[in-house]
Amino acid sequence: MDIVKNTTGAMTVSLDKVMDAKTITYFQDLIRRVPVPENVLQYAVGLVHKTRPANANAPEVAKQYVAYGAGPRASQYLILGAKCNALLNGKYSPDIEDVKAMAMSVLRHRVLRNYKAEAEGISQESLIKQLL
């Protein structure tokens, strides 16, 4: 009710400027220049592949409960998110833990449950935790 009320009325919101466009562009470029070890790239891509039930190497949980898995963009955003997470935590490069930290946010809306999972009350979050 609150969401509908707040988004369909004439209410105006005042926002405080936190940074300018030049600063945003600087940080976007910085993130893209952060090096990523090969094993971290492999982990991110492998995790995304695990979400695809038709993949020959998919784990049983994906084969049983996933209708559609994540695509290549999920791997890209796992890596970009891992880079950000690493920098925010004082590291110069992401590791597998940084990818895992981003997994729920990146994969939650990209992994679609099948009817069996819905009927058994298995959530996307539960599936992702099992794939990690």
Residue 28 phi, psi (nearest 5): -60, -45
CA distance 128 to 39: 20
* Domain map (residue ranges) of the chain: 36-131
Residue with tokens 């058994």: 120
The neighbouring-strand residues paired with 68 are: 112
Q: 3.40.50.620, 1.10.8.80, 3.40.50.720, 1.10.260.40: which CATH number matches 36-131?
A: 1.10.8.80
Give the pTM.
0.84
Backbone angles phi, psi at 31, to 5 degrees: -60, -40
Tens of each residue's pLDDT in the chain, 132 residues: 888 988 888 878 888 999 999 999 999 999 999 999 999 999 999 999 999 999 888 999 999 999 999 999 999 999 999 999 999 999 999 999 999 999 999 999 999 999 999 999 999 899 999 999
Calculate the dihedral angle through the C-alpha atoms of 108, 112, 116, 120, rounding to the nearest 10 degrees.
20
